[in-house]
DNA sequence: TATAAAAGTTAGATTAATCTAACTTTTATT
DNA sequence: AATAAAAGTTAGATTAATCTAACTTTTATA
């Protein structure tokens, strides 16, 4: 059985190599930066994970997850997202509060717990941030890929997911009454700085380019 | 913040010195036996816990929890019992399956989670084994103290708690359709071996002295 | 009360996870 | 292509948690 620490390395590797993070290859430094550790530390751990056949790489080369490693990482992600859903929907946490707690809960080892929790939540496909929850077989529901910034003028869309899960962003969304499922119409784009004017309910609001690049829509 | 390991030592000490375990003093060997560790290991840890002022003892003497140590142990117990209740009542675990999982969940650090869980469960006073759940202030609802074995012949009583939480015992109770709240009438006691004949619902059953010493009733 | 048994402690070793400092290899840039 | 920068590795140290083996103190008993 893997330690929490080992699980965290695999999860980080999954994240870094799944182009959520922008790129597809991961090196020692990327991992170290992502985990807040020193490259030397990561190097040591990678040796052990390679030994145990959870990762694959050659000296000075890029690191990839093996099938076994990816399966574990996906399962940890499944637990993380189920717990986030539980915290929001059942215990009324707000979506900016769930992450840290889910970071702990994702390491609880009990298949029965995971499956019962899934059932209790009625087998959700997406977590409170709109991220897909892997199924027990490792398959993932489709992830929204359209950025709000790429929606044409006068088009309407529905918020499907957030690309940025930082508290500041989530609280800002809260303040604007925007959440998963909110209908948005793009009214105007300012070419000067990429700002976008949106219709949200009866309100007309202006948001930055950075904002429009942080929301995924259907 | 304490490690899971440190929390487990404090919890064990609380258990051993709260006469649930029969006695009120705990030594290195008792702790080692209870935790499945070697006395030398426990000795080392006790030094650190003393350093941090969670326990108090003098060399070769008996160990007691300080106020701070007891507060932490009680809080861990609170979390353990709330999670057991959650697993049974919400996720339909049977009462012999919850312990191991609760052993993991009890270490999750989030006051908000604990309080929200308590609220969601409607502030239960007792867990699925009939053990009192400490309140946020550390106070405990009263614990049943009457053993089934001490109930007089022809008296009726209600099962309040189990003294033994081993799977074998809990599954046996399940098989006999006895749970917390079950009404029992003591029909006869066999002086030869301490066996007791009980009326449970419409059934008349005979149980051992050991059994009658493992159930607490009101 | 002397002494054997039980309880508790110390010393030294091991493993996991981390660090810093120094070194090597790869890559990117002039 | 030479060389500077970035990336990756190694060596040696530290801390937490565990062990075994040997030793000391307390307690129980003959």
Which of the 58-117 residues on chain B come under 7 Å of nucleic strand C at their beta carbon? 59-62
Among B82, B97, B110, the strongest candidate for a mutation testing the A interface, having the largest count of A CBs within 10 A, is B110
Q: What is the pLDDT of residues B192-203, one digit of tens each?
A: 999 999 999 999
Q: Are residues A152 and A181 in the same domain?
A: yes
Statement to judge: residues A105 and A121 lie in one domain = yes
CB within 8 Å: B117 and A91: yes
Residues A49 and A90 in one domain: no
Domain count, chain A: 3
Across the A:B interface, residue pairs with CB atoms under 8 Å apart total: 39
Quick one: A150 and A213 in the same domain?
yes
Nearest CB among A101, A109, A113 relative to B110 is that of A101
For the segment B26-42, what is each residue's pLDDT rounded down to a tens digit? 999 999 999 999 999 99
Is B138 in the same domain as B150? no
Reduced to 3 states (helix: H, G, I; strand: E, B; else coil), residue B123 is coil
Is A97 in contact with B112 (Cβ distance < 8 A)? yes
For B108-120, how does the pLDDT look when each residue is reduced to its tens digit (9 = 90+)?
A: 999 999 999 999 9
CATH number of the domain where residue B122 is located: 1.10.10.10
Ranges of H-type helices in chain B:
4-16, 28-35, 39-51, 67-89, 98-105, 111-120, 167-175, 209-212
B27 CB-to-strand C distance under 7 Å: yes
Distance CA A208, CA A203 (A): 16
Domain final residue pick, B43, B65, B87: B65
Q: A112 and B90: CB-CB below 8 Å?
A: no
> What ipTM was estimated for this complex?
0.92
The answer to whether position A45 is within a domain reads yes
Q: Which of A91, A105, A116 sits opposite B116 (nearest CB)?
A: A91
Q: What is the mean pLDDT of each run of 10 residues along chain A (218 residues)?
A: 97 89 82 97 97 95 96 98 98 95 98 98 97 97 94 96 93 95 96 94 94 96
B65-123 per-position pLDDT tens digit: 999 999 999 999 999 999 999 999 999 999 899 999 999 999 999 999 999 999 999 99
Selected for mutation to probe chain B from A5, A110, A118 (highest B CB count within 10 Å) is A110
Q: Which domain holds residue B190?
A: 146-217
- Answer yes or no: is A210 within a domain: yes
Q: Is B91 on the interface with A (CB under 8 A)?
A: yes
Give the residue from A31, A65, A99 where a domain finishes: A65
**Shortest CA–C1' contact from B57: which nucleotide?**
C8
Last residue of a domain, one of A142, A175, A195: A142
CATH of the domain at B181: 2.30.30.90
Check whether B22 has a pLDDT greater than 80. Answer: no
Is A120–B93 a contact, with Cβ atoms under 8 angstroms apart? no
Both tokens of B118, joined, read 């308590």
With respect to residue A71, please indicate whether it lies within any of the assigned structural domains: no
What is residue A95's predicted lDDT score, i.e. its pLDDT?
87
């Amino acid at each position: 059985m893997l330690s929490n620490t080992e699980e965290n390395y695999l999860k980080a590797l999954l994240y870094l190599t799944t182009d959520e993070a922008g790129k597809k290859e991961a090196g020692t430094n990327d991992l170290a930066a992502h985990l807040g550790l020193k490259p030397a530390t990561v190097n040591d751990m990678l040796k052990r994970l390679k030994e145990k056949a959870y990762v694959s790489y050659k000296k000075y080369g890029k690191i990839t997850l093996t099938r076994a490693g990816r399966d574990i990482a996906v399962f940890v992600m499944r637990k993380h997202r189920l717990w986030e859903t539980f915290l929001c929907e059942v215990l009324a946490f707000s979506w900016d509060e769930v992450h840290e707690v889910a970071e702990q809960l994702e390491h609880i080892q009990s298949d029965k717990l995971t499956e019962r929790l899934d059932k209790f939540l009625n087998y959700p496909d997406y977590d409170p941030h709109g991220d897909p929850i892997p199924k027990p077989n490792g398959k993932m529901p489709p992830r929204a890929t359209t950025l709000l910034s790429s929606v044409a003028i006068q088009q309407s869309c529905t918020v499907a997911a957030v690309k940025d899960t930082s508290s500041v962003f989530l609280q800002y969304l809260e303040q604007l009454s925007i959440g998963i499922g909110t209908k948005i119409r793009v009214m105007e784009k300012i070419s000067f700085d990429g700002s976008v004017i949106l219709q949200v309910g009866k309100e007309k609001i202006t948001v930055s380019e950075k904002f429009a690049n942080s929301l995924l829509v259907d």
